[in-house]
Structure 1
Amino acid sequence: MVSAPVVFTSLSLLISIPIIFFFFIFNRNKSRNSKQLKLPPGPPGWPIIGNLFQVALSNKQFIHYVRELFPIYGPILTLRMGARTLIIISSAELAHEALIEKGQLFCSRPAENPTRVIFSCNKFTVNSAIYGPEWRSLRRNMVSGMLSNARLKQFYPNRAAAMDRFIDRIRSEAIANNDAILVLRNARYAVFCILISMCFGVELDEKDIILIDEVMKRVLITLSPRMDDYLPLLRPFFSKQRAHALNVRKEQIETIVPLIDKRRAILKNPDDHKSAAPFSYLDSLLDLRVEGRNSAPNDTELVTLCSEFLNGGTDTTATAIEWGIARLINNPSIQSKLYEEIMSVAGKDKPVSENDIEGMVYLQAFVKELLRKHPPTYFSLTHAAVQTAKLGGYDVPADANLEIYLPTISEDPRLWKDPEEFKPERFLPGAGGESADITGVKEIKMIPFGAGRRICPGLGMGTIHISLMLARMVQAFEWKLHPDEPELDFGSKLEFTVVMNRPLLAIVKARK
């Protein structure tokens, strides 16, 4: 699930300068309450706009800009981004204090900007809901209704069929393009196919799937933060952007509601739709009774909940696949070890199954190392305190965004041996092996899915999809870098999730 604390252009900030100075004459930046609080240290900022100048004019993405601040200000710091206060933590100790020791204090979500409220139905989603009865109802339903081990096993035939189509798609693209494959594009399509089937229990052709995927992408683009999210005084000047957001929302509803109606028709007359899936995530939502509400979700709310399921699991998984193939290309010995394990467990005459991957120790170690070095997002989803609370000896206001920066935790030399190296062997059982509790229950050393009460409910599904896709890809093909590409660049950038600087173009050779 994606968190993007700051995304905007320096141009939009420069355009806003005259307006900002106009309001500066009539406003003061600090309230009496904020003066009384002991906030973590941070770079000095301007009145009203805070640190927006430094971020916008740094020519760096926020995920890289903020990393340079920790050596200066320490593992907990404050950034004032217009009307928002960001408290950013970057150490395992502080993450443990916030998410585990004081989990009940920091388990809420901050106020959403007006655009996000439109798409979340006023925070009626698992990820955005305020901590309380409504959130518990939604999360409980998602876990028991779709993401439990029992439910995930029910959808094994759907995943197996999607994996077969995925491998066939790669093979066809390779034949058409002299063995060249764009990894992320193909991985994203495969994951989206699986999630569409799980969400709605219907089979769609490629044209319809691509159409729905394009709408979901437009939603994500529209949700990217704007200047007026940080400076509400500018909102009158962003009326066109708000109108565009309403149009995208309308398009989203018009695209998803027919799928909801199609599933309703299947449930009403199952004998007429024997090829349809016996269950879907939507089934659990149609008659859902949320604590504190008298009725089941309406169609608009169903669109929101289904979209959350689709968007939450697509880019995160596809991104991991691209990073994983890049690592296999960069280190052929790792690719060979993984292929040898696949042959010893599953052989070459039948596709790798989910039962097979449970016994693949090296594959599991590889996936753990992949998530340690390349978490899909560098920030966990934003937390907020239910009331002003202490963290690391400092005050965290109830209206502040608590952001948890993940790379500095999973690359902390105090926690890891040779943290900069990519070594799956570190997680193999036996003497000298390192632990990797990615849930954060036993310890916090790497938390790619977050930790505590608001840990991502899709953790189990995500790891299954990543493991199965990588195993099938290595079983079917040998992967190499395209000869027209320069050497692999493991630099990163933010595009909903953290992706490679250059889309990975690979060469595949079918295994004999």
Structure 2
Amino acid sequence: MGSRTMIIVSDAKLCHEALIEKGALFATRPRENPTRTIFSCNKFTVNAALYGPVWRSLRRNMVQNMLSSSRIREFRDVRNRAMDKLIHRLKSDAKSDDGVVLVLKNARFAVFCILLAMCFGIEMDEDTIEKMDQVMKSVLIVLDPRIDDYLPILRPFFSKQRKKALEVRKAQLEFIVTYIEKRREMLKNPGSDTTAISFSYLDTLFDLKIEGRKSAPSDEELVTLCSEFLNGGTDTTATAIEWGIAQLITNPEIQEKLYDEIKWTVGDRKVEEKDVEKMGYLQAVVKELLRKHPPTYFSLTHAVTEPTTLGGFDIPTDVNVELYLPGIGDDPKIWSKPEKFDPDRFVSGREDADITGVKAVKMMPFGIGRRICPGLGMATLHVHLMLARMVQEFEWSAYPQNSKVDFTGKLEFTVVMKNSLKATVKSRV
């Protein structure tokens, strides 16, 4: 690819060899393009950091202090309020548009509400949430790869785009630093803000000790780490919900079976997090959803720490090792009828897969090995809970009536539906 060498791996056994058997060798990241370096504060994020002390410090902090199962449980009330907001917004949209709702937009809003509260320790009003969302979207747009990332000789022709990236970064810093300062004040004066939540991701970052560094993260680095937390969990989860609802509309018998399980498990009360563990069919639906529709075509790019081999081929340093996820999830050598959306494959025990890929790789929606997504547990909890609440409240069908859902995808930050899903909902109550 221009001046970069790209190696694309789409075989499950080779993925296992690279990321599990030779995990430490394949655990670093390649050179970033100049725009990404600006937004990652020179690779100061969990996802972008080179394999080494900075990465270990940042990841350990995120996993132990924010994404452990006990910490995630502490935000249960935040999630419940976001789920109620989601249902309220869907009912309101349906009422004003003859039963028709936009799935991605509403799902995205609900997840973003949760992550904002977890990140900054403040529950924000809708206007602020929309503004923050716009800031995040503008960042993702300027991060789209450009041809000069691969052919540096063309950089002089892209000065306008570089200028735009710097403007977006400045706006991002100005907007988010305000909320970082607010949180600092709250911690100095407990009880001064009634909307404050007792704990947040930001709290873990203020005095974070980084191996090999004397100072705590700067405000600019705090903005970068908060943005990573928000971007990493919002679009991936919302996209999964959109594909999931599309599959339930296309397969009404699966939707009905899922609704029956919800009804049988919880009766007339609202689905809660503790119920999800008892719903085997819901778990099978989500697993099949992640197999058929991983959040993106490629996992985050890997690179090797020293020259090595993979499947007998030489892998030099400073090359992009790309892992093609649909090549694994749709592989007929691994799955029977891979083109079919069939949660029963997991219920019957006919087929199964560990999504962490430790024993064998059959699907890897969150990556695998040392650089596996640290938010895996939180993301799957959100998808299970949202799908369960949405199916409990509404019967979902196609819009326009009797039309076929178009499953064509397009790559944005994640793989979204080319035509954003509009659906007709009918309240079950």
Q: Could you state the TM-score of these two structures normalised by the residue count of structure 1? A: 0.83
**Aligned equivalents of 1:119, 1:393: Cα separation in 2:** 37
**Offset of 1:309 from its aligned partner?**
0.3
1:483 aligned residue: 400
**Aligned equivalents of 1:274, 1:207: Cα separation in 2:** 18
Partner of 2:134: helix, strand, or coil? helix
**Aligned equivalents of 1:463, 1:427: Cα separation in 2:** 16
CA distances 1:84-139 after superposition (whole Å, capped 9, x unpaired):
11000101011011101111111000000110010000000000000001100000
**Offset of 1:318 from its aligned partner?**
0.4
1:237 matched to 2:154? The reply is no
Partner of 2:210: helix, strand, or coil? coil
In structure 2, give the amino acid aligned to 1:210: E
**Offset of 1:275 from its aligned partner?**
4.0
**Aligned equivalents of 1:256, 1:272: Cα separation in 2:** 20
1:439 aligned residue: 356
2:7 aligned residue: 87
In structure 1, give the amino acid aligned to 2:278: G
1:151 aligned residue: 71
**Compared CA separation, residues 365 and 296, structure 1 to 2 (3 A):** same
| Equivalent residues in 2 for 1:294-309, closer than 5 Å | 294-309=214-229
CA distances 1:286-341 after superposition (whole Å, capped 9, x unpaired):
11011111011010000000000000001100000000000100011101111011
**Offset of 1:486 from its aligned partner?**
4.0
**Aligned equivalents of 2:400, 2:292: Cα separation in 1:** 26
For structure 2, list consecutive stretches of 5 or more residues without a partner in the other structure.
Answer: none
Pairwise CA RMSD: 1.0
**Aligned equivalents of 1:486, 1:435: Cα separation in 2:** 33
**Aligned equivalents of 1:226, 1:194: Cα separation in 2:** 32
| Equivalent residues in 2 for 1:382-401, closer than 5 Å | 382-401=301-320
Tell me the percent identity.
65
1:288 matched to 2:208? The reply is yes
- 2:136·2:227 contact (CA, 8 Å) conserved in 1? yes
In structure 2, give the amino acid aligned to 1:457: P
2:29 aligned residue: 109
**Aligned equivalents of 1:486, 1:244: Cα separation in 2:** 41
Partner of 1:83: helix, strand, or coil? coil
CA distances 1:411-431 after superposition (whole Å, capped 9, x unpaired):
112211221111101111x5x
CA distances 1:338-362 after superposition (whole Å, capped 9, x unpaired):
10111111122x2110001111100
1:495 matched to 2:412? The reply is yes
| Equivalent residues in 2 for 1:35-184, closer than 5 Å | 81-184=1-104
**Aligned equivalents of 2:353, 2:244: Cα separation in 1:** 18
| Equivalent residues in 2 for 1:235-274, closer than 5 Å | 235-274=155-194
Query: Which of 373, 390, 403 lines up with 2:292 in the alignment?
Result: 373
**Aligned equivalents of 1:453, 1:326: Cα separation in 2:** 33
- 2:148·2:154 contact (CA, 8 Å) conserved in 1? yes
- 1:491·1:500 contact (CA, 8 Å) conserved in 2? yes
**Offset of 1:273 from its aligned partner?**
2.6
Query: Which of 440, 448, 454 lines up with 2:365 in the alignment?
Result: 448
**Offset of 1:261 from its aligned partner?**
0.9
**Aligned equivalents of 1:461, 1:177: Cα separation in 2:** 33
**Aligned equivalents of 1:274, 1:202: Cα separation in 2:** 9
- 1:88·1:403 contact (CA, 8 Å) conserved in 2? yes
- 1:184·1:322 contact (CA, 8 Å) conserved in 2? yes
Segments of 4+ moved more than 6 angstroms: none
CA distances 1:36-74 after superposition (whole Å, capped 9, x unpaired):
xxxxxxxxxxxxxxxxxxxxxxxxxxxxxxxxxxxxxxx
1:357 aligned residue: 276
In structure 2, give the amino acid aligned to 1:402: V
**Aligned equivalents of 1:373, 1:252: Cα separation in 2:** 34
Q: Which moved more, 1:365-374 or 1:380-389?
A: 380-389
**Offset of 1:252 from its aligned partner?**
0.4
1:412 matched to 2:309? The reply is no
**Aligned equivalents of 1:472, 1:493: Cα separation in 2:** 27
**Compared CA separation, residues 488 and 257, structure 1 to 2 (3 A):** same
Partner of 1:271: helix, strand, or coil? coil
In structure 2, give the amino acid aligned to 1:182: L
1:315 aligned residue: 235
**Offset of 1:441 from its aligned partner?**
1.3
**Offset of 1:271 from its aligned partner?**
2.2
Partner of 2:101: helix, strand, or coil? strand
**Aligned equivalents of 2:29, 2:221: Cα separation in 1:** 19
**Aligned equivalents of 1:366, 1:145: Cα separation in 2:** 30
- Higher alpha-carbon Rg: 1
**Offset of 1:395 from its aligned partner?**
1.1
- 1:485·1:505 contact (CA, 8 Å) conserved in 2? no
**Aligned equivalents of 2:163, 2:418: Cα separation in 1:** 32
More RCO (CA 8 Å, sep 6+): 2
**Aligned equivalents of 1:500, 1:234: Cα separation in 2:** 32
**Number of positions where the alignment pairs a residue of Structure 1 with one of Structure 2:** 429
**Aligned equivalents of 1:460, 1:97: Cα separation in 2:** 24
**Aligned equivalents of 1:152, 1:187: Cα separation in 2:** 19
**Offset of 1:274 from its aligned partner?**
4.3
1:212 matched to 2:129? The reply is no
**Aligned equivalents of 1:230, 1:414: Cα separation in 2:** 34
**Aligned equivalents of 1:394, 1:326: Cα separation in 2:** 40
1:468 aligned residue: 385
In structure 2, give the amino acid aligned to 1:339: Y
**Offset of 1:179 from its aligned partner?**
0.7
**Aligned equivalents of 1:388, 1:443: Cα separation in 2:** 24
Partner of 2:333: helix, strand, or coil? coil
- 2:13·2:360 contact (CA, 8 Å) conserved in 1? no
1:44 aligned residue: none
**Offset of 1:151 from its aligned partner?**
0.7
Q: Could you state the TM-score of these two structures normalised by the residue count of structure 2? A: 0.98
| Equivalent residues in 2 for 1:340-351, closer than 5 Å | 340-348=260-268, 350-351=269-270
CA distances 1:130-183 after superposition (whole Å, capped 9, x unpaired):
000110000000101111101100000100011001100110011111111010
- 1:330·1:488 contact (CA, 8 Å) conserved in 2? yes
**Aligned equivalents of 1:401, 1:151: Cα separation in 2:** 35
**Aligned equivalents of 2:417, 2:353: Cα separation in 1:** 24
1:511 matched to 2:407? The reply is no
Q: Which moved more, 1:240-249 or 1:405-414?
A: 405-414
